[in-house]
Chains A and B, each alone.
Chain A
């Protein structure tokens, strides 16, 4: 008899065991040991890798150190995507720990945004929250909050304080009972091999005739290919936070419980395993 609150906790405390290895192209003074960390799924790579940076800088000449970036099997990892999304999208179903190469040179400008400091991450995070609230409540809730409330959301994420974050985030998840949900569901659908970075459109939690929209309804409208046709083998996995919710799951519930701290429901559509 689990409680919905436990879901929030499980989502927040999701961790990905990661092994950071310095890429062989990097020049070092002595051999660099790999570095192991438990990364919070809901956080951002550049926010939680200070230790990694320090670890590898010890074996490098200061001149060789430029902006740190990460690569997994040839893909440059976008720091502005939540870590859990990056893992689900690129490395689902692979053996743990997740092996990431660390680079300090040849920053791939065409793929990545610069991240000179944490304030850039904060700005990105807050803009996501504002965008999500614009969809959910026409921005009413986030605009009513004070500067310190915004800070509380960010500090909660940065310091991995679940209680602190959710004390504030709860307000963003409220809606009038008679409306039966948010105005629109803030969601983004990602595919590992796609030209577009993600799909994002307006989608209501309840249809005009009062029918509750499900995850299946959302995909049917946004990406019909993701839904297995009758009698056909499943071609794609629909992954949120490393799990595959049933297509019958109400989208409003998912938005309330499985959104990332940026208030978006990040959905990865990855090819199904062939085994």
Chain B
């Protein structure tokens, strides 16, 4: 998720932003011009400045906005010259687009505006549909409008190649003027602006609608704004029945406008194919006497303000009725109102001009509960007490420059300057404030504001008198200081030069001015001016005099019911941050020392005495309940059972337990039991109808038939799972967070499991069977998880949000002592539920929902086997909640027509996006989003959504300053994370690694060998990646296995494995240090979904179709047996937990088993368990306290 910000403009045209977690408005430093209105999206914000022009501010991001230009070079063969650019007269242009219809030579391409730059020169694309072409990139065909191949044949008469060049949008984090492309077409100056519409189309496109109103009351629409074209391409006038004064566009298809007379207009006909809409409908003003002056719309709400400042809420708005049905008068008097993401509402009160937030707005109560004023302070509001870190951070580079100047300027002066330097720690915004205050009259567009401002104009002068005070004191010091002090002040505030560019006070400039400043230092006038600017200018806006706001916009502010807002009481934060248990002292030496000493103590005092009797005996302890059990024999059904967990203290001090399931069979009471220490995993299987969970033992894993139990409520299930899980962990002596070597896995439900590896797990030749691994659950919800043995663990949610592991444990349904407290955070995830609408064609009525008797359900799941209507489709589990209504999904592979339909000859065949004569059936996919909120030891890594992640596997003892971590964004960009360390595994920022096409899989091996797969199936090896050159230098195209498209790759210490789209597992042959790309792919196995190769070159997969003795499972964790240094391909599979598993990573496990010496292979099998090393033998007496000691 991109960062969330609330934007506001004050009456002086200064732009501020506020994050939901912050208590302080940050001044937007780049704004060199006064802004009148602002409208924001998650990626950028648009503004109208005082020159009535439109400016665009695209937020900085680690991923650049790149646009690929392409053109084709066409050649024809003739017997004289061979292939040459001499074409037949009937042929296409020598340089053309892909269709050949448009002439486009290389030099015809121009940058769309000054805000773009070329990344490099034109080059030939040598990748042809996932395969590498010959060096020059030519593809051959018989004639032009034909299919091309990469091989030249006898009948290849024409050839062409693709040239590509990337351009990059460079004007990020700055206000760039949106140029008017045609001088004549640009209308008169703009007066209002509103953007939205991003929910009309799906993510990959990211279309944004921008509506603008001119001073003459005309409405304009900006066409073609999307991710790769943030500026849009052209203004189109939208005719309207009268003069419009203001317009508002919601995230969805709502657009309302206010007319000069006070009526409102509603845009109708807005849709996927027509973002501009088709017509206007008129709605009367809420109040008969007073016309409307302002309107604000969200996804399904409309708020309005009338000329008497009254606030109104429109009833009955929905996607079928954008006009709504009636007005409701609301409390409060506002100047303007804005509706942001999730229909949250902000307003500016007409009474005190403060920003108010509407509390309690939820999807069920869209009108909210009450207005609450934001008390957040602005940059500089608390200058005297503000040596706090927050303000320094926002001062950014300015502060550091200032320090440099001071230390260079004069050492003696330092002492005097320091307190001032500290208090004015963030002088620039204040200076700006001052500067803009001097230019007040220009900003005032609205008479109310000018009134307010004129009241205040006397104040700066008044303050000058009071603040000159410090200056005489300075002058009283030694002469040297007099010289230096004003110079330093000047360097911060050259207010004597009003036309100076504020945004970049760099060192050279400051030094330059130092020289200029000295001669001027005796003119007391300039001194006093600058000191006013530096020290005291925020006085008029002190605690008793709050800022006066003119405009607020929540278009990029993501707030929902569970969001933590820090906007309302600004005083408390300092106290909270002082609390000991959450202070950064986490890592303090004393704490570390206590942890270390305590574990040493336990070792010293207890390790050799485990056979002693405990002084306090733990009694047997039983918990009982009633459940249902999925019977082991036919006919399979749920039967009522009594369930009991008996716990007691084992001989070695560990807690032990037994699970009993009491059932009745043929009127006979029977029971089934399982020892807690044999349980390998407890899996919650939440379904819509029953709250069930599964208990596995090694035996049950082999059978693929767990003990399945159901309880009455979700709460009861969570209680049992938490209890059983703690009991299982206790019996195995597992507590606290998982170790760094842990093996992580994720089920298809997004549940996270972790297993602590023992040395015997990867022992050779007799490893511990992987069905004996014990897995326990960790809170959170993820789709992918990757780790290495240094404890760097990252995950990706279903909504592509990146998460980093915090080192905690528990969360989710683990409460109290089964969970850590410090590092558990809220985690949310969203996913879509899909159903299909199916129709069959008949000659009379065309396509209808009346199928043949043999057809599938007219509303079904993807397979067509299950009936799924809009009404009966339930949430995946009770943890989820719907976030929207059913919508047609156009983002389906194979494409759709305008209404989302896909066509086919008959149902169980492949569908395509356009209707042909042979098509008798069609279907379309409906999607509905749902959201889950849980807790876990995960912290979000904003803002770039990811689809793949990998980190370098290594030995646990390895030391690395920076841990290499690569990722692929949800859009397919290859990214390299900077500054990932063991202490700070989240790193700091992304480094974008350029590619010609979107990627889908990436993996880095122990020797920094990076392998990746593009979305078209091309395999790449990244050259020259090393600790010194994190991102490497270029991509080498590696041929894919014949006729297969690879989809995932994993690289261990040396081995490289890949999985293709048909489920084949491939091993890369011929890898040598001097030739790391290898020579060929060797087929290893079928039915493989995913592969994870670890730092020991161990190979683990998620396999499909694993046959157990009772049942078949899909999504099963398997491990390759017989993998040896000289035998990296292994011999066979060992089957572990599953089905229903989605992902596994063994890249953290570098625990090697002690080598068993096998002097002669002939000598028969050696026992598999090596003696544990490192523990001195302890002599245990045979008899103790009168009892025989069992060891």
Chain A residues proximal to chain B, CB less than 8 Å: 1-7, 9-11, 13-17, 33, 35-40, 43, 48-49, 51, 55, 96-97, 158-160, 162-163, 166-167, 177-178, 180-181, 212, 241-246, 248-250, 252-253, 256-258
Contacts and interface: CB of A to CB of B under 8 A. Distances in A.
B430 to A, nearest CB: 28
27 contacts: A2-B737, A3-B822, A4-B581, A6-B735, A6-B736, A10-B601, A14-B605, A17-B605, A17-B606, A33-B1186, A36-B612, A36-B613, A37-B615, A37-B1185, A38-B614, A40-B615, A48-B616, A96-B604, A178-B575, A180-B578, A180-B579, A243-B597, A245-B593, A246-B589, A246-B593, A248-B590, A256-B581
Contacts of B809: 3
B64 interface: no
Contacts of A256: 580-581
Interface in B544-598: 575-576, 578-581, 585, 588-591, 593-595, 597-598
Contacts of A40: 615-616
B599 A10 contact: yes
A78 to B, nearest CB: 18
A241 B616 contact: no
A2 B613 CA distance: 29
Interface residues of B, number: 48
A11 B588 CA distance: 20
A246 to B, nearest CB: 4
Nearest to A212: B580
Interface in B611-638: 612-616, 618-619
A1 B742 CA distance: 14
Contacts of A43: 615-616
A241 B601 contact: yes
A227 to B, nearest CB: 15
A51 B615 contact: yes
Contact of B612 (A2, A17, A248, A249): A17
A40 B1184 CA distance: 19
A166 B598 contact: no
B605 A16 contact: yes
B415 interface: no
A180 B578 CA distance: 7
Nearest to A247: B590
A272 B317 CA distance: 79
A190 B272 CA distance: 79
A252 B598 CA distance: 18
Closest 6 CB pairs of A and B: A1-B807, A17-B609, A243-B597, A48-B615, A160-B616, A249-B590
Contacts of B821: 3-5
B852 interface: no
B612 A37 contact: yes
B602 interface: yes
B772 interface: no
B609 A97 contact: yes
A26 to B, nearest CB: 19
A194 B613 CA distance: 34
A3 B597 contact: no
Contact of A245 (B590, B807, B1184): B590
B262 interface: no
Given A43-B616, A243-B597, 19 more contacts: A1-B807, A1-B823, A4-B581, A4-B821, A6-B735, A33-B1186, A37-B614, A37-B1185, A38-B612, A40-B615, A51-B615, A160-B616, A181-B580, A242-B605, A243-B600, A245-B590, A249-B594, A250-B580, A258-B594
B401 interface: no
B104 interface: no
B808 interface: yes
A36 B580 CA distance: 41
Nearest to B619: A159
Nearest to B579: A177
Given A14-B602, A17-B612, A180 B580 contact: yes
Contacts of A48: 615-616
A194 to B, nearest CB: 25
A181 B591 CA distance: 18
Contacts of A3: 736-737, 808-809, 820-823
B817 interface: yes
Contacts of A17: 605-606, 608-609, 612
Residue from B597, B604, B791, B821 whose CB has the most chain A CB atoms within 10 Å:
B597
B594 A245 contact: yes
B590 A9 contact: no
A36 B1184 contact: yes
B817 A166 contact: yes
A244 B597 contact: yes
Residue from B591, B615, B736, B823 whose CB has the most chain A CB atoms within 10 Å:
B615
Given A4-B581, A33-B1186, A245-B590, A11 B598 contact: yes
A2 B590 contact: no
Contact of A242 (B601, B608, B737, B1186): B601
Contact of A253 (B576, B580, B613, B807): B580
Contact of B595 (A2, A16, A96): A2
Nearest to A167: B816
Given A9-B735, A36-B613, A246-B593, A15 B605 contact: yes
Interface string B799-841: 0000000011100000011001111000000000000000000
Contacts of A248: 588-590
B602 A10 contact: yes
A29 B589 CA distance: 56
A146 to B, nearest CB: 21
Nearest to A206: B578
Contacts of B576: 177
Residue from B590, B735, B1184 whose CB has the most chain A CB atoms within 10 Å:
B590
B778 to A, nearest CB: 14
Given A1-B737, A3-B737, A33-B1186, A39 B595 contact: no
A212 B593 CA distance: 19
A256 B1184 CA distance: 38
A147 B181 CA distance: 82
Contacts of B612: 17, 36-38, 97
Contacts of A39: 615
A55 B580 contact: no
Contacts of B823: 1, 3
B880 to A, nearest CB: 30
A178 B808 CA distance: 26
